[in-house]
């Protein structure tokens, strides 16, 4: 199936976990295959189909709960205990989460609430870890330069958990006026699907501020990524990218003393 599937944790906005390990099906083949072939879906495991607004359970062996989520990470509809050889649809949904039957009732998942995605690696290690440098330099801001609001919400949640202030803008807006702000200690730059555009934006950012630390992510790093620049996979290496941003803020704080 090509690149390795990402596994995320589904949480409420207040941080409470809904499902610990959600496999991401973000290609046509993965969405078609889905949960087929499995004999069961344990509590605490799930799958999200993205993009998707309709599913079927043909040839499945067990019932599931289905959660339809919109572009703003809001729960549009919950289908409880959907049995095999049934369909469920919710127009306007951007992704569908499949959970073990009964999990939505047990976790109190209802239409109208908002959810958040987090890297599972980060959730397992987040605890209350903060470096002394970050505790001293909390006024420093990380600018998230991205047009992907799902990604912005995820990294904002993860960075703020670590005590790091976050600002966000599109890449052009960040390059045009925000990088000269002395409070911006680092930039998390989202190259999206065009690594070349991302690298050009990286060079433009460094031209404005040579001391600025930039962490770059992309949908796919590919074989043509330059060896001189570390490019993180946007979804599969979220934890490593957040660690790199945290380290950049810590270094910037130390140099400012």
**Mean pLDDT (whole number) for 119-130:** 44
Asked whether the predicted pLDDT for residue 150 surpasses 50, the reply is yes
pLDDT at 4: 57
Of 55-64, 126-135, 168-177, 248-257, the poorest mean pLDDT is in: 126-135
Query: Distance (Å, rounded) from C-alpha 39 to C-alpha 88?
Result: 21
pLDDT at 175: 65
Asked whether the predicted pLDDT for residue 149 surpasses 50, the reply is yes
pLDDT at 146: 87
What percentage of the chain exceeds 70 in pLDDT? 81
Q: How confident is the model at residue 253 (pLDDT cuts 50, 70, 90)?
A: low
Query: Distance (Å, rounded) from C-alpha 20 to C-alpha 25?
Result: 16
Query: Distance (Å, rounded) from C-alpha 139 to C-alpha 186?
Result: 12
Asked whether the predicted pLDDT for residue 196 surpasses 80, the reply is yes
Query: For residue range 42-70, what is the model confidence (pLDDT) as tens digits?
Result: 988 999 999 999 999 999 999 999 999 99
Q: Which CATH class is domain 130-256?
A: alpha beta
Architecture of domain 7-121 in CATH?
Sandwich (2.60)
Query: For residue range 14-28, what is the model confidence (pLDDT) as tens digits?
Result: 677 899 899 988 888
Close Cβ partners of 26 (under 8 Å, ≥ 6 residues apart): 6, 50, 235
Query: For residue range 86-122, what is the model confidence (pLDDT) as tens digits?
Result: 999 999 999 999 999 999 999 999 999 988 887 655 4
| DSSP 8-state class, residue 178 | I
pLDDT at 128: 34
pLDDT at 179: 62
Q: Which helix (H) or strand (E) holds 169?
A: strand 165-169
Q: Where are the alpha helices (DSSP H) in the chain?
A: 28-33, 103-107, 120-125, 132-136, 149-161, 171-173, 195-208, 238-256
Asked whether the predicted pLDDT for residue 133 surpasses 60, the reply is no
pLDDT at 239: 85
Query: Distance (Å, rounded) from C-alpha 42 to C-alpha 216?
Result: 36
* CB atoms closer than 10 angstroms to residue 23: 18
Domains in the chain: boundaries: 7-121, 130-256
Query: Distance (Å, rounded) from C-alpha 208 to C-alpha 210?
Result: 7
pLDDT at 224: 63
pLDDT at 1: 42
Close Cβ partners of 128 (under 8 Å, ≥ 6 residues apart): none
């Amino acid at each position: 199936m090509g690149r390795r599937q990402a596994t995320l944790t589904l949480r409420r906005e207040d941080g409470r976990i809904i499902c610990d390990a959600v496999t991401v099906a973000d290609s046509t083949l993965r969405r078609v295959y889905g949960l087929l072939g499995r004999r069961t879906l344990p509590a605490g495991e799930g799958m999200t189909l993205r993009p998707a607004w309709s599913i079927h359970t043909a040839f499945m062996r067990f019932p599931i709960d289905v959660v339809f989520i919109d572009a703003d990470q809001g729960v549009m509809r919950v289908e409880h205990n959907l049995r095999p050889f049934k369909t469920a649809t919710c127009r306007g949904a951007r992704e569908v989460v499949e959970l073990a039957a009964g999990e939505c009732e047990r976790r109190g998942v209802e239409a109208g609430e908002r959810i958040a995605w987090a890297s599972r690696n980060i959730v397992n290690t987040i605890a209350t870890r903060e470096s002394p440098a970050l505790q001293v330099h909390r006024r420093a801001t990380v600018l998230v330069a991205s047009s992907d609001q799902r990604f912005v919400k995820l990294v904002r949640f993860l960075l703020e958990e670590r005590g790091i202030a976050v600002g966000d803008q599109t890449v052009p807006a960040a390059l045009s006026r925000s990088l000269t702000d002395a409070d911006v200690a680092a930039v998390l730059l989202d190259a999206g699907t065009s690594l070349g555009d991302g690298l050009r934006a990286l060079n433009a950012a460094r031209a404005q501020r040579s001391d600025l630390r930039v962490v770059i992510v992309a949908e796919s790093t590919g074989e043509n990524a330059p060896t001189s620049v570390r490019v993180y996979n946007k979804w599969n290496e979220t934890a490593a990218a957040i660690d790199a941003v945290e380290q950049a803020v810590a270094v910037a704080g130390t140099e400012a003393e």
